[in-house]
Amino acid sequence: MVCGKEVDSEERELCLDCEKHSRNFERGFPVFNYVEPVKASVLAIKYHNKKEYCDFYGAQMAEKVRPYVRRYGIDAVTCVPLHRRKQRQRGYNQAAVLAKVVADELGLPFCEDMLVRRKYTTPQKKLDNLERANNIKTSMDIGRVYPEYRNILLVDDIYTTGVTIDVCAGLLKKAGARHVYYSSVCVGKGC
């Protein structure tokens, strides 16, 4: 298991995505599958200003990751960035709110500025896999470099195809991270 998606048979060790693609991250820790009622709840965070739900989900994410913090030497938490325009529209970056809760629960520093989204892009949910990859690769960049942190936990709300997390993990490694792990509220089937 790399990404954390359920596999469809006992003979498989990896999901179809992870069998087909090498990943820039070491392991994923999604908490829930992207199905109702979690799906509606996460979408309420994103589109209906239910920021308070992040306290519950962030605590759940921290509990999922907690047994691995020492084992993997995780020493900082960051998040998938949101473009400034979208953050102004929404009022907050839900991934940052979740990441702050996770960091606080785990007693780790939260470094929101490790990554930046330089370009306003089409929402990923409206794109196919190839379009997602091209969309995200041209919009993300390295932000502030923290040389003291080498094993990073990257937080997002939903993991679907893995493109966003993978691009972000690659940038974090380019900036000096040794290992990148991710956690998300939920994981979709993606392909």
Which pLDDT score, from 0 to 100, does residue 107 have? 99
Region for residue 178 given its phi and psi (left: phi exceeds 0; alpha: psi -120 to 50; beta: otherwise): alpha
Residue 66 CA to residue 153 CA, distance in Å, equals: 11
Q: Which domains does the chain have, with CATH numbers?
A: 16-187 (3.40.50.2020)
pLDDT at 191 over 60: no
Sequence letter at residue 189: K
Strands 140-142 and 115-117: antiparallel
Structural contact between residues 92 and 51, judged by C-beta atoms closer than 8 angstroms? yes
Let me know: does 23 contact 169? Beta carbons within 8 Å: yes
Average pLDDT score over residue span 111-129: 85
Average pLDDT, the chain: 91
pLDDT band with cut points at 50, 70 and 90 for residue 151: very high
Evaluate if residue 55 carries a pLDDT over 80: yes
pTM: 0.91
pLDDT at 111 over 70: yes
Q: Is the pLDDT of residue 1 over 60?
A: no
Q: What percent of the chain has pLDDT over 70?
A: 91
Q: What is the mean pLDDT of residues 161-182?
A: 96
